């Protein structure tokens, strides 16, 4: 056993050790299927190793720093008051589920008119126990069935710790007009949390989900989240994922999406925080005619690492996929993008376009981008492209010739590069807030775009 592996085992044991002490099962022990699911996951955690750069999927992402640190499950919940998180609220969303250090906080959550009642009068949004009580069969049919943990240590870990979850079940033909806000707040250092999300959008339904990971402290912690999103025939889901963890945090996020016939899934993922973050997004078009568009932005600096691994699996014919992933990398930061598009035999008339665009703002910044097309069908239209570059000197000169200082010109162009992705967020107040964040993060000079340079 190598030294790395020993460290890795120690790390896993420290995490698994928490299983026994974790809050007594929040769901009834009668739910044998859930216990079985967890037991299977625990078994896989015992077998799987912490990935190293020796693993193809982790070639550019060295997480040894994560394995060297120890994290424990939450011991005592933080007494967070509603007022403490009021500024994180999103004005369009009156339905909000709040998880503090991974633990559901009903006193901070609220169910708005829209999230409250389906046709059957049951809540559309709730924690796992409530969802099992009202939608037991649906939860059982999907929970743990889409996010595969056999070969994925972090998904296995999350599933091993699966005691609670944010569950959104939108009944057939139901249009949820307000976005549903899932807020995961980190409040304590050294805690490992395993947020879990299940969204089932039944046939013909529509919903917008905001998955929001943020922090109230700048210490180290470990977030290991998994989302499962299922779209029935003709369902439409907008999924906004925002990761603004502390600069010392580790964030491993997984998202498995299953698309039904002629359904439409659109996601915008924005990674701003964490020392090391990884998002694994897998979309499977299980029936004909599904559409997905995946937009992503990583905006990082200093010594941050942000890794985005996506896989769009066109398993059936007539599917459409669009993907735009952008990274803005400053300081000695490192962005990784691996975008796999798989078109299986028989998935004819697939129409897929992928673009990875990367902006390096410093000499030490680094990007690895790897578009991967695997096409087995013969009648398809698939394009992909990747660019890595610096700000365009002609664009800078154009702006300077109109009076903008060089710094203001650079800031504006950097902002614009990121804004293209932010603009695709379908929730106006969140879009404005993130535009402001991007503006602040891309401004290295008092000459803020929007203010006149050189003005007293």
Partner 1 sequence: MIRAGSKTLLEVRGLRATVDGVEILKGLDLTVKSGEVHAIMGPNGSGKSTFAKVLAGHTAYQVTAGEVLFEGENLLDMAPEARARAGIFLAFQYPIEIPGVGNSQFLRLAYNTVQAGRDKDELDPLEFDDLVREKMKLLEMNPEFLGRSVNEGFSGGEKKRNEILQMALLEPKLAILDETDSGLDIDALRVVSKGVNRFAGADNAVVLVTHYQRLLNHIVPDYVHVMSSGRIVKTGGSALALELEERGYDWVEAEANSAAVAEGASP
Interface residues with partner 1 (CB under 8 A) are 392-395, 397-406, 408, 412-413, 415-420, 423, 449-450, 452-455
Query: At closest approach, how far in Å is the CB of 405 from partner 1?
Result: 5
DSSP 326-357: EEEE-TT-EEEEEEEEEE-TT-TT-EEEEEEE
Of 67 and 408, which CB lies nearer to partner 1 in the complex structure? 408
Query: At closest approach, how far in Å is the CB of 418 from partner 1?
Result: 8
Of 39 and 452, which CB lies nearer to partner 1 in the complex structure? 452
Of 57 and 395, which CB lies nearer to partner 1 in the complex structure? 395
Residues 325, 310: contact at Cβ < 8 Å? Answer: yes
DSSP 115-167: HH--TTS--SEEEHHHHHHHHHHHHHHHTTTSS--SS-HHHHHHHHT-S--EE
Of 379 and 387, which CB lies nearer to partner 1 in the complex structure? 387
Say how many CA atoms lie within 13 Å of 105 toward its Cβ: 23
CA–CA separation, 411 and 417 (whole Å): 10
399 contacts: CB under 8 Å, gap ≥ 6: 408, 409, 412, 413
Of 204 and 418, which CB lies nearer to partner 1 in the complex structure? 418
CA–CA separation, 187 and 134 (whole Å): 31
Query: At closest approach, how far in Å is the CB of 422 from partner 1?
Result: 9
Query: At closest approach, how far in Å is the CB of 448 from partner 1?
Result: 10
Residues 210, 181: contact at Cβ < 8 Å? Answer: yes
Query: At closest approach, how far in Å is the CB of 455 from partner 1?
Result: 4
Of 333 and 438, which CB lies nearer to partner 1 in the complex structure? 438
Query: At closest approach, how far in Å is the CB of 293 from partner 1?
Result: 18
Question: How many Å is the Cα radius of gyration of the chain?
Answer: 22
CA–CA separation, 383 and 386 (whole Å): 11
Query: At closest approach, how far in Å is the CB of 112 from partner 1?
Result: 32
Residues 245, 218: contact at Cβ < 8 Å? Answer: no
Query: At closest approach, how far in Å is the CB of 202 from partner 1?
Result: 37
270 contacts: CB under 8 Å, gap ≥ 6: 240, 241, 242, 243, 296, 297, 298, 299, 421, 422, 425, 434
Of 186 and 438, which CB lies nearer to partner 1 in the complex structure? 438
Of 85 and 447, which CB lies nearer to partner 1 in the complex structure? 447
């Amino acid at each position: 056993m190598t030294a790395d592996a020993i460290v890795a085992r120690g790390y896993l044991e420290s995490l698994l050790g928490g299983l026994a002490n974790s809050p007594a099962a929040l769901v009834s022990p009668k739910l044998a299927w859930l216990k079985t699911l967890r037991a299977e996951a625990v078994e896989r955690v015992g077998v799987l190793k912490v990935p190293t750069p020796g693993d193809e999927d982790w070639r550019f992402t060295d997480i040894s720093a994560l394995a060297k640190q120890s994290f424990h499950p939450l011991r005592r919940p933080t007494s967070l008051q509603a007022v403490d998180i009021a500024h994180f609220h999103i004005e369009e969303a009156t339905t909000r589920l709040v998880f503090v250090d991974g633990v559901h906080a009903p006193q901070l959550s609220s169910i708005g008119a829209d999230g409250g009642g389906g046709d059957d009068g049951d809540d559309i949004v709730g924690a796992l126990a409530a969802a099992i009580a009202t939608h037991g069969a649906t939860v059982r049919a999907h929970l743990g069935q889409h996010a595969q943990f056999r070969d994925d240590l972090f998904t296995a870990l999350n599933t091993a710790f699966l005691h609670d979850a944010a569950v959104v079940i939108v009944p057939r033909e139901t249009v949820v007009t307000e976005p549903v806000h899932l807020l995961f707040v980190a409040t304590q250092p050294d805690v490992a949390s395993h947020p879990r999300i299940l969204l089932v959008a039944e046939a013909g339904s529509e919903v917008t989900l905001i998955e929001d990971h943020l922090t109230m402290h700048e210490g180290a912690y470990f977030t290991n989240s998994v989302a499962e999103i299922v779209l029935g025939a003709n369902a439409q889901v907008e999924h906004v994922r925002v990761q603004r963890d502390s600069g010392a945090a580790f964030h491993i996020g997984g998202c498995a999406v299953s698309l039904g016939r002629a359904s439409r899934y659109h996601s915008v993922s924005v990674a701003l925080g964490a020392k090391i973050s990884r998002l694994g997004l897998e979309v499977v078009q299980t029936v004909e005619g599904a559409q997905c568009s995946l937009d992503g932005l990583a905006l990082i600096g200093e010594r941050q690492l942000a890794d985005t691994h996506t896989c769009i699996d066109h398993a059936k014919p007539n599917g459409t996929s669009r993907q735009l992933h952008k990274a803005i990398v400053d300081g000695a930061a490192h962005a990784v993008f691996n975008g796999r598009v798989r078109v299986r035999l028989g998935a004819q008339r697939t129409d897929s376009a992928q673009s990875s665009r990367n902006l390096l703002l410093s000499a030490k910044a680094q990007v690895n981008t790897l578009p991967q097309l695997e096409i087995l069908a013969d009648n398809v239209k698939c394009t992909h492209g990747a660019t890595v570059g610096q700000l365009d000197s002609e664009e800078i000169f154009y702006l300077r010739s109109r009076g903008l200082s060089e710094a203001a010109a650079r800031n504006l162009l950097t902002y614009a590069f990121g804004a293209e992705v932010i603009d695709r967020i379908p929730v106006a107040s969140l879009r404005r807030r993130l535009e402001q964040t991007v503006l602040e993060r891309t401004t290295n000079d008092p000459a803020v775009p929007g203010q006149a340079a050189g003005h007293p």
